[in-house]
Amino acid sequence: MVGHLVEALTLLADPALIAVIVMAALFGLFVGAIPGLTATMAVALLVPVTFFMAPLPAVAAMVTVTATAIFAGDVPGALLRMPGTPASAAYCDEAFELTRRGEAEVALGTSVVFSAIGGAFGTIVLMVAAPALAEAALLFSSFEYFWLVMLGLTCAVFVAPGNPLKGLVSLMLGLLIASVGFENPAAYPRFTFGVPELMSGVQLIPVMIGMFAVSEVLRFATTVDRPLETAVQQKIGPIFRGQWRLARQYPVQAARGGVLGTLIGALPGAGADIAAWIAYGIAKRFSRTPGKFGTGHVEGIVEAGAANNSALAGAWIPALVFGIPGDSITAIVIGVLYLKGLNPGPTIFIENPGSIYAVFLVFLLANLLLLPLGWLLIKAARNVLRVPRALLMPIILVFCMVGSFAINNAMFDVGVMLAFGVIGWLMERNGFPIAPTILGLVLGAMLEQNFVTSMIKAGGNPLAFFERPVSAVLGAATILIWTSPLLRMAWRRARPS
Amino acid sequence: MQVSDKLSGLLAAAFGIVVVLAARAFPATPGQEIGPGLFPSITGALLVVFGVGLFVGARRKREAGWWALDDWVGRRDARRSVAVVVVALVAWIALVTPVGFIPTTILFVIVLARAMGGRITAALPIAVVVTLVTHYAFSTLLRVPLPWGILQGVAW
């Protein structure tokens, strides 16, 4: 590992790479700070540009953008009571209460410091856990992969808040979109309707840009006549003052947030936003002063702020080791990794250890950069938040269109982007989560490949799916999650009140 | 638009049935039990199950109404800007190849910025700068063949 780290350090000592990282950090801070523009959208908009970069800078840019955008989402949360990204929603009110009491610097300082701590913590877990898991994963056959994908998709549906049936419908939609084209085990062109562009399937990137960026522009368009909130006009004091005292006061909260965030991030489909909600809830539950929550108490910001940044790194664990994304951001990253010839999977740690460790170091670097750049953003916050949306939204759409076009130089893909922008907007409006669709689209081919291979190997014997020990455990876990709502219902019936 | 769970459940189930019927028509792979239709058939069948589940659950909760319009439909500025986003995107797709990336995109940004309440004095310079910078980055630096259209003669 030390040898790989040295190799990674030499890869990192490239001024061009550092320049890419700093620029990506500024872009991430800007997008994250604008309410309505999410970290996922920042990554989706970045994809067309990374398309033309070498693998390492491309991945480094995406890592940096996510880390900085998730923190930047806290800034409008504290100043406008509007979360910049969904991951900041959990403690937005709390931060705003602090600002109202004239303690904006405490809210923002806590956000930036504990985001960096959480992010660094998650990265260290990633560095230790991923290579170890990869070694075990080398022994996996199609049965294990089939169940792993099933477990991932299952988590994506059942972890998300809301009606699981809607998550399931959303997932099936993604799987069906994935089955378009002739890239399936039988090489038969399915659902192409004679359209030549559909022969190679529906392109992932235009779908993502549509569902995560165009849908946000449409949502903004419905509120165009609402006045922009103006930031609280008060002086923000030195943000790092008193942070050391907070770290000494709440070490358990910071550590718990980091662990929780990494674990939830590693679950497919659940990312930084869910991690923050759960961490905030747990901080309140175990707090010595739960009554203070919601009145401008930093304890929840410490834990949830650490959790949402550590979730980002956690999401990379299944993404790198198995090619199963831990959240919608890593779903995009996996697409880019394939394009770059860095095929995710256990062998990546054998074939490209230098690059992978370099990516880990970029994670650490991005979280360290958060401290100075976060300070800069907070100083400039009032101006960033005043950028007129009426001019910003058309520019975002131009990037979306050019980005979708550039993937294959096909105007058809811009149409795909528009169609999925409208679909994503309608789905979100009606409580259908988007993440399962994206996960289904990313994992559909892998699921079908491993399913068909396993079925052929099994020769029609369904028990073969449970014969190997690891696949039996994974299969049992998956089935247990499916049946848990039924079991709970049966339990309630069996226990007469 | 707000679609009731009853209606979205029925739509999902109907879509699932169509998928299963279409997938059943796929030819079998010779010498192989599992053809290209199996996976979409399972997915489609599950879609029917979950759609019906959604419908039944909504019925049991006595969900009122089938669908309703959102409040923004009643507000003129919001309605117009949603329409402009969709129409401008369709128009851009249709016009960008014959007319060219630069004029179409400048027009696109101005129209959208105006519809969303931006001032023309700000929209015009921003449209020109954004279009030229994007064009330089993607066409010149990244070699994406953005269409020249009517400017073909003066292409740089």
pLDDT in tens, B68-107: 888 888 898 899 999 999 999 999 999 999 999 999 999 9
Q: What is the pLDDT of residue B29?
A: 77
Residue numbers in A near B27 (CB within 8 A): 188
Average of per-residue pLDDT across B12-29: 91
Residues, chain A, total?
A: 497
CB-based contacts of A155, cutoff 8 Å, min separation 6? A267, A268, A269, A270, A481
Query: Which token pair is B90?
Result: 């369709």
Put simply, the chain A residues between 15 and 74 with a CB less than 8 A from any chain B CB are: 48-49, 51-52
Q: How far is CA A473 from CA A143, A218, A459, A470, A481, in A?
A: 11, 44, 21, 5, 12
Q: Determine the residue of chain B that is closest to A188 in CA distance.
A: B36
A221 close contact with B: CB closer than 8 A: yes
**Min distance A487 CA to chain B CA atoms (Å):** 17
CB pair distance less than 8 Å for A172 and B16: yes
With vertex at residue A443, the alpha carbon angle to CA A278 and CA B48, rounded to the nearest 5 degrees, is: 85
Q: Report the domain count for chain A.
A: 1
Put simply, the chain A residues between 418 and 477 with a CB less than 8 A from any chain B CB are: 418, 422, 426, 429-430, 432, 448, 451-452, 455-456, 460
Average of per-residue pLDDT across B134-148: 88
Residue numbers in B near A456 (CB within 8 A): 32-34
| pLDDT higher at A47 or B124 | B124
Confidence category of residue A124, pLDDT binned at 50, 70, 90? very high
**Min distance A14 CA to chain B CA atoms (Å):** 21
Residues A440/A173, Cβ–Cβ less than 8 Å: yes
In a mutational test of the A interface, the residue from B10, B11, B29, B34 whose CB has the highest number of chain A CBs within 10 Å is B34
Give the nearest partner residue to B118 out of A390, A409, A456, using CB atoms.
A390
Would the pLDDT of A251 be above 80?
A: yes
**Min distance A5 CA to chain B CA atoms (Å):** 32
Would the pLDDT of A483 be above 90?
A: no
Percent above pLDDT 90 for chain A: 35
CB pair distance less than 8 Å for A185 and B34: yes
**Min distance B112 CA to chain A CA atoms (Å):** 6
Percent above pLDDT 70 for chain B: 100
Residue numbers in A near B90 (CB within 8 A): 418
Distance CA A208, CA A335 (A): 11
B35 close contact with A: CB closer than 8 A: yes
Average of per-residue pLDDT across A97-114: 89
Backbone angles phi, psi at B153, to 5 degrees: -65, -30
CB pair distance less than 8 Å for B39 and A179: yes
CB-based contacts of B104, cutoff 8 Å, min separation 6? B92, B95, B96, B149
CB-based contacts of A119, cutoff 8 Å, min separation 6? A67, A309, A310, A312, A313, A363, A366, A367, A370
* Residue among A336, A464, A476 nearest A407 (CA): A336
Confidence category of residue A182, pLDDT binned at 50, 70, 90? confident
Residues A385/A80, Cβ–Cβ less than 8 Å: yes
Q: What is the pLDDT of residue A232?
A: 64
Token pair 């100043």: residue: A79
B60 close contact with A: CB closer than 8 A: no
**Min distance A72 CA to chain B CA atoms (Å):** 24
**Min distance B24 CA to chain A CA atoms (Å):** 11
Domain encompassing residue A323: 2-494
B96 close contact with A: CB closer than 8 A: yes
The predicted-structure confidence for A430-456, as pLDDT tens digits, reads as follows 999 888 898 899 889 889 999 999 988
Distance CA A287, CA A295 (A): 14
Distance CA A83, CA A67 (A): 16
Give the nearest partner residue to A224 out of B78, B90, B131, using CB atoms.
B78
Any idea which of A1-5, A137-141, B34-38 has the lowest mean pLDDT? A1-5
Q: Determine the residue of chain B that is closest to A448 in CA distance.
A: B39
The β-bridge partners of A8 are none
